[in-house]
Amino acid sequence: MRFVSFSEASEYLRGKKVAIVGSAPTVLDNAPRFVDSHEVVVRVNNYKLGPAQGFRCDVHYSFYGTSIKKSVEELRRDGVRLCMCKLPDAKPLESAWHEQHGKLEGIDYRYIYRHRASWWFCDTYIPDVARFMEKFALLGNYQPTTGFAAILDVLACEPCGVYLTGFDFFDSGLHNVDELWHAKNLDDPIRHRPDLEALWLRKNARAYPLAFDAKLTRILA
């Protein structure tokens, strides 16, 4: 295991045909073996495998908080060679709301790296504060979802093509394929804003070598 720079992590993806697999139920609409036909498969958080969503995971992208239950054994079995972290090993944000509500894990991410100090098992990329803050600022100072952060980081690695599947910006009300999802803490001033993420992708998709599953194509039309 070694910790790698963004430049080193990019070598896994640069010039490759990449599939990024999100957690929306639309992953079930893919033809069998299509996702796994890509040179690199990136999966997010507590991904689920199957004939439509595929069985390979070359790159695991996650915020790696305590809700992420993937074991080292499972990730190794699925083929993970690179872990990419969404959050820095730092406290990059200030928020009175989080302080008042006792939700420091929303602004101080050092607990993740204390908890996983002996967990890392392969090449692992952890962003610095500056790179994290670029994504935060891109959305008008809202915290990007892990899936959207994965899209931005993969695109920055300069792949030759990226297929996005399993992204519906929570339009279905489901995540992890078949689990209920609902927005929480709507008064949180830096909460997730999937609507802004969809808007960014709609405005910027043509600048990148992107292809989408059928549902995401309709959402972005």
Handedness of CA 37, 169, 112, 48 (dihedral sign): negative
Annotated domain spans of the chain: 3-220
Sequential pLDDT tens for the chain (221 residues): 899 999 999 999 999 999 999 999 999 999 999 999 999 999 999 999 999 999 999 999 999 999 999 999 999 999 999 999 999 999 999 999 999 999 999 999 999 999 999 999 999 999 999 999 999 999 999 999 999 999 999 999 999 999 999 999 998 888 888 888 888 899 999 999 999 999 999 999 999 999 999 999 999 99
Question: What gap in Å lies between CA 95 and CA 81, rounded to an integer?
Answer: 35
Topology of domain 3-220, per CATH? sialyltransferase cstii, chain A (3.90.1480)
End-to-end alpha-carbon separation of the chain, Å? Answer: 42
pTM of the full structure = 0.97
DSSP letter for each residue of the chain: --EE-HHHHHTTTTT-EEEEE-SSGGGGGSPTTTGGGSSEEEEESS---BTTTBS--SEEEE---TT----HHHHHHHT--EEEESS-SS-----HHHHHTT-GGGT--HHHHHHTTTT--SEEE---HHHHHHHHHHTTS-PPPHHHHHHHHHHHT--SEEEEES--TTTTSEETTTEE-----TT-TT---HHHHHHHHHHHGGGS-EEE-HHHHHHH-
Give residue 85's Cα distance to chain centre. Answer: 8
